[in-house]
Amino acid sequence: MTTATEPAAASADVLSVRQLHAGHGGLTVVRDVDLTVRPGEIVALLGPNGAGKTTILKTIAGLLPAIQGKILVMGERPSVRRPHLAARRGLAYIPDDRCLFASLTTLQNLRLAARRTRSDVDSVFAYLPELEPLAKREAGLLSGGEQQMLAIARALVQKPKLLMIDEMSMGLAPVIVERLLAVTRQVADELKISVLIVEQHVRLALGIADSAYVISHGTQTMHGSAQEVAGQIEAIEASYLGDANDRRPGNPGDGG
């Protein structure tokens, strides 16, 4: 386990983030973040609400400019506000709102995503057979769990090298979350896809991840193997509760 600065990036790393400062509209919300994702590895990015997890993913995806620091995705810097270039290099990003085309069917969503790679849409049904009977149903009519499966399937047909998933469990029952995490582990192992996953179900995420980083108030507070971080799980969960308490109106720690 380490809280110190990581060594320089190895060229084979799928993702290397060094001393990243990121934020919105000139306001820095994330400071000095280091992250490494190696081939075939699942890395969990954990932390309480508002810690800066989504900000980090968006900056890696090139949807936000980095304020300071260095990001290399498959050895190249993200092209800010040109996310199609990131996709071409092998980055797939599933945002927390899933971003499906609600009026298109499951199959149409998949075919649209598969256009660039010309991949076989049916091949993803091997990993997510639940979607096959839903092929002709509009994405907007699918349940939350089914929509998240479609979001994962849509990312997979893009044949990514690095898959970033933000809060795939939002609003879903733990049993569905477990299923989705198991699929994530399976595709990482069988398709050699590296995964950076943001997940509120900390214990479930650590159960399938190889390593984990904990972010709190925009800075990195913990990093280690999933096993090492799981050994600190009570401290992590307490920090989540601490943050919630800090935000209660009238609490002395409430900065507004």
Residues found near ligand ATP in the complex (CB under 6 A) = 24-25, 29, 47, 49-55
Which is nearer to ligand ATP, 29 or 104 (by Cβ)?
29
Looking at the Cβ atoms of 16 and 55, the one nearer to ligand ATP is 55
Tracing tokens 């057979």 back to the chain, one arrives at: 129
Nearer to ligand ATP, 7 or 25 (CB): 25
CB of 167 to Mg ion, least distance (A): 6
Answer yes or no: are the C-beta atoms of 62 and 83 closer than 8 Å. yes
**For the chain, give me the number of helices (H) and strands (E)?**
8, 9
230 binds, among ligand ATP, Mg ion, none (CB under 5 to 8 A by kind): none
CB of 32 to ligand ATP, least distance (A): 15
The nearest distance, CB 4 to Mg ion, in angstroms, is: 26
Which partner from the list ligand ATP, Mg ion, none does 143 bind, CB cut-off 5 to 8 Å by kind? Answer: none
Partner interacting with residue 106 (select from Mg ion, ligand ATP, none; CB below 5-8 Å by kind): none
Q: Give the three-class secondary structure for 247.
A: coil
| Tokens coding 62 | 């090139």
Taking the CB of residue 47, how many other CB atoms lie within 10 A of it?
Answer: 26
Q: Which of 111, 93, 101 is nearest to 162 (CA)?
A: 93
What number of other Cβ atoms are within 10 A of residue 39's Cβ? 13
Using an 8 Å Cβ cutoff, are 180 and 213 in contact?
no
Minimum CB separation of residue 80 from ligand ATP in Å reads 15
Nearer to ligand ATP, 118 or 248 (CB): 248
- What whole-number distance in Å separates Cα of residue 196 and Cα of residue 214? 13
Cβ distance to Mg ion smaller for residue 53 or 154: 53
Q: Which does 49 bind (CB under 5 to 8 A by kind): Mg ion, ligand ATP, none?
A: ligand ATP
Helix (H, G, I), strand (E, B) or coil at 100: coil
Sign, Cα dihedral of 111, 117, 121, 127: negative
The CB-of-57 to ligand ATP minimum distance in angstroms stands at: 8
The residue among 101, 181, 192 whose CA lies nearest residue 149 is: 181
Minimum CB separation from Mg ion for residue 15, in Å?
18
Between residue 46 and residue 85, which ones bind Mg ion under the rule CB under 5 A? Answer: 53-54
Indicate the residue among 96 and 178 with the shorter CB distance to Mg ion.
Answer: 96
